[in-house]
Structure 1
Amino acid sequence: MFGLLAAAFVLYTDDYVIAGILPELAGELGVTEGQAGQLVTAFSATVAVAAPLAAVALARVPRRRLLAVALLTFIAANAAAAMTPSFAVLVVLRVLAALSAAACTPVLFAFAARHAPEEKVGSYLAVVSLGVTGAIAAGVPAGTWIGGTFGWRGTFAAMAIAGALVVVLLLTTLPRPEGAEEAPALGEQLRALRRLPIVLGLLANCVLMTGSMMMLTYLAPYLAETTTAGVDERAVAFGLAGIAGMAGIWLGGVATDRWGADRALLFGVTMIVAAMVALWALWASRPASLPIVLAVAAVWGGMAFWNSPAIQARLHRLAGPVSGQALALNTSGTYLGVSLGAAGGGVILTGAGPGVLPLSAAAFAIAALVLLALAGRATRVVVPG
């Protein structure tokens, strides 16, 4: 399991770490920071589009071989990025690294779920998901420090080295398959993925992520208007949210195993709604107490990640032999939600101010609850038949 966690940590760090080295990268390659920031857009958009396509097209490729080839491509792309003199070439290399991530990421979660005992699926998924929160809490700061000390090229070189270590770790720890990789025919895969409970669950994840990222992306202006928080206090807020997220994702996995995915999701999403309403109330009574705002933000950060193991465990259970493909679509929905949340939150912030952001995020969370309820109802209708 540690190999799967480490792989998720490296792949997600590779996407997010650009933010920490933007000024140096842009200055050396002769582009604006806004243009350099499009490297993140290119990576995320590529993963969102390519993940489900790769899951279907590569369904019959043995998992160990798929992970090894994709990660070797990832290593080559990052090593070349450390030496490229051209921004245009760097964009191409980032797309290549993203294609590798698109092929790998859903496999990590599907592999964990498939090899977990039935009563531990949520916990196994939570372990892999810790790599995602760890990338935010530790990977990006480490990559930023490397970039500040050795230059931005050093960050890409470090990612290539980390990728090589992950390949060795996975090949020495993952079990070898006993036979050929089996997967349904393409038509059967598509029919299974079109089932209403799966579609509604995927949509719920995207909607929930949209609301969460709407608030997270613009947490700084919310804090600035609601409290007397300065730069240091805002850094503390993001740090607390990250730590709470790591705790939340683990506890969410345990709750999924003990309560079931549906009950865990009901609790997690309801807590998000409550936290968003509390953040709005604190804004309405501004200036608010900073410790209280930070406490509520920490609860929200924990609950935002709490839901991930339950969503994935639910999809794994419903999708059966096409769980890898369903989890790939879930990855796409997550990246799409990140993009929509940032874009929609920006419009709301400009037009109505930061105080409306918590209510908007709460509305998206309620919509996700409705979609999950409909998915549960559709599941009960489909299963008896």
Structure 2
Amino acid sequence: MPSLRRRPGGLRLAALALTAFTLQTDDFAIVGVLPSIARGLSVGEATAGQLVTVFSVICAVVAPVAAVTTASWPRRRLLGGGMVLFCAANLAVPLATSYPALLALRVLAALAAAVVLPTVFAVTAALAAPGRQGRDLATVMAGLTGAVVAGVPAGTWIGAAFGWQATFAANGALGIAALVVLLAAVPDVTPPPASGITERLRPLARPALAFVLLAAVVAVLGNLLFQTYLGPFLADTAGVNPTGLGGLLLLAGASGIAGARFSGTLVDRIGPARTFALAAATFTAAMAALELAWSLRPAHVALVALPIALWSAAAWAVPPPVQARALKLAGQQAGPQALALVSSSVYLGASLGAGTGGWLLGTFGPGTLPIAAAVCAVAALALFALAGRTVSSTAKRDRTETEGRRTVV
């Protein structure tokens, strides 16, 4: 029997990317139907918006805990069980006639996402052929980007045409499709040998991994403080109306998919450190160009189109090197737990970014957003580089201690 890594990987990667697409769409699509939810359940829009907050917080908190407690579970069974819960939580939404009932279903969906999404990336890494881990991770990451490009607009349209409950039902149906393809295309992955909690957590306590996770938080914070308020910034800079914003968002989405895929290739060829540095430098250059356009306002829309494309490509180029570096630092046994921590870092950075961007916009105006985002990119690069230096220092200290023991003997 051929090894799992030698089996045709196209359908397997498609199944994993479709699963990522489904989970991310479920997280974001609700934003487009929040007013309808508020009216339908007779609550304020701010209250309805807590459905998004609760989902993100649960994913951030539960993902690393679930990764540790399910470390010895068969991966295929974990994916299948999580997707069954996810589908059930979404398909039951039309039966929810009150806000508490809907909130409970969103909690169940978030619990499923917190388990499944890190497992998707762990399985992708485990089944990747030698020298292709970065590219395979980037391919699955494209599912997350695709959710922003296609999933969210589709969910919003479905809600407008058939009612907000239909958006959740569609997510449940999409989850069933992802589950079927997963079971058909993804082989089981043998979990690491059973070990105690201490052994599972020890690799996660390495200072270098902490710096990598901090770099992810800061990078996502910088990206989201700009992305969340992209509409007001472009309206003030180039007079972009909603129609023009839609076109630029499509450009950004396509650029993000390309950036993530290219980043994965670079991770395999030149390593995570150089790939992250290139992504951070490109992001900073894009922010500088957008800040220049803002200073020249009213600027022509063509002056912001290329920086927007570069910004999105650079932003989506960040996850592959972060994932690859985290996997290497944690080792095979703690790899799934490390990826879960990366997922939590992304959620944390997104939450902080939206709040920080709102404060900057309200206090200092849109012109400060690119500057703050660029500062975050530089800080994230410094943290990522510090992780590499920490690894080198630790390795040097270990060699010195080993040589010292040999000398004594």
- Superposition map of 1:113-132 within 5 A: 113-132=125-144
Q: Distance in 1 between matches of 2:291 and 2:326?
A: 32
2-structure distance, mates of 1:278, 1:180:
47
1:75-224 matches, cutoff 5 A: 75-177=87-189, 181-224=192-235
Tell me whether 235-244 or 4-13 shows the greater mean CA deviation: 235-244
Structure-1 residue corresponding to 2:297: 286
The aligned counterpart of 1:363 is 375
> How far did 1:180 drift?
6.2
The residue aligned with 2:327 is 316
1:222-276: per-residue Cα shift (whole Å, max 9, x none)?
1111112222112222221111111111111111111111111111111111111
Give yes or no for the alignment of 1:252 onto 2:263: yes
- Bigger radius of gyration: 2
Give the letter aligned to residue 360 of structure 2. I
1:183 deviates by 4.5
- The CA distance in 2 between the partners of 1:72 and 1:136, in whole Å, is 23
Measured on the aligned residues, the alpha-carbon RMSD in Å equals: 1.2
Alpha-carbon distance, 1:26 to partner: 1.5
Local SS of the residue matching 1:244:
helix
Matched residue type, 1:81: V
Structure 2 counterpart of 1:353, from 341, 356, 365:
365
**Residue type at the aligned position of 2:25:** T
User: 1:181: how far off?
Assistant: 5.0
Match in the other structure for 2:30: 18
Q: Which amino acid aligns with 2:86?
A: F
- Say if 2:18 and 2:143, in contact at 8 Å, map to a contact too: yes
Q: Which residue of 1 aligns with 2:7?
A: none
**Matching residue of 2:341:** 329
Deviations 1:184-234 (A, max 9, x none): 421122221010111100010000000000000111111111112222112
8 Å CA contact retained: 2:71, 2:191: no
Conserved 8 A contact 2:75-2:191: no
SS class of match (2:369): helix
1:329-359 superposed Cα distances (whole Å, 9 cap, x missing partner): 1100100111100000111111100001111
Q: Which residue of 1 aligns with 2:55?
A: 43
Contact 2:122/2:336 (<8 A) preserved: yes
Specify every segment of 5 or more residues in structure 1 that has no aligned partner in the other structure, as ranges: none
Q: Is the 8 A contact 1:223 1:229 kept in 2?
A: yes
Aligned to 1:267: 278
| Aligned-partner residue type, residue 145 of structure 2 | T
- Take 1:148 and 1:340, find their aligned partners in 2: how far apart are those partners? 30
Q: How many equivalent pairs are there?
A: 384
Residues 182-191 or 4-13, more deviating: 182-191
**Structure 1 residue 132 displacement after superposition:** 0.3
User: For 2:192 and 2:218, how far apart are their aligned partners in 1?
Assistant: 33
1:345 and 1:20 mapped to 2: Cα distance?
A: 20
Alignment-derived partner of residue 375 in structure 1:
387
Give me the whole-angstrom Cα distance separating, in 1, the residues matched to 2:303 and 2:220.
24
- Partners of 1:169 and 1:239 lie apart in 2 by 27
**Contact 2:20 2:143 survives alignment (8 Å):** yes
SS of alignment partner, residue 61 of structure 1: coil
The 2-side partners of 1:377 and 1:180 are apart by: 31
TM-score by length of structure 1 reads 0.97
One-letter amino acid matched to 1:264: T
- Does the 8 A contact of 1:43 with 1:95 survive in 2? yes
Per mean C-alpha deviation after superposition, the further-off stretch among 361-370 and 144-153 is 144-153
Contact 2:75 2:188 in 1 (8 A): no
SS of 1:10's partner is helix
SS in 2 for 1:287: coil
Provide Cα deviations, 1:36-60, integer angstroms capped at 9, x if missing partner. Answer: 1111111111101100010011111
Q: Distance in 1 between matches of 2:365 and 2:76?
A: 49
- Is residue 48–residue 335 contact of structure 1 (8 Å, CA) maintained in 2? yes
Q: Give the CA deviation at 1:124.
A: 0.5
| Distance (Å, rounded) in 1 between the aligned partners of 2:232 and 2:156 | 23
Between the aligned partners of 2:364 and 2:188, the Cα distance in structure 1 is 55
Whole-angstrom CA distance in 1 between matches of 2:362 and 2:188? 53
Kindly indicate whether the alpha-carbon contact (under 8 Å) linking 1:247 and 1:302 is maintained by their aligned counterparts in 2. yes
**Where do 5+ consecutive residues of structure 2 fail to align?**
1-12, 399-409
Aligned identity (percent) is 44
**Bigger mean CA deviation after superposition, 80-89 or 168-177:** 168-177
Distance 2:181 2:395 in 1: 40
Contact 1:61 1:181 in 2 (8 A): no
CA offsets, 1:251-310, max 9 Å, x none? 111111111111111111111111111111211122222111111111101110012111
Question: Structure 2 residue aligned with 1:344, among 356, 359, 375?
Answer: 356
CA contact (8 A) 1:193 1:326 kept: yes
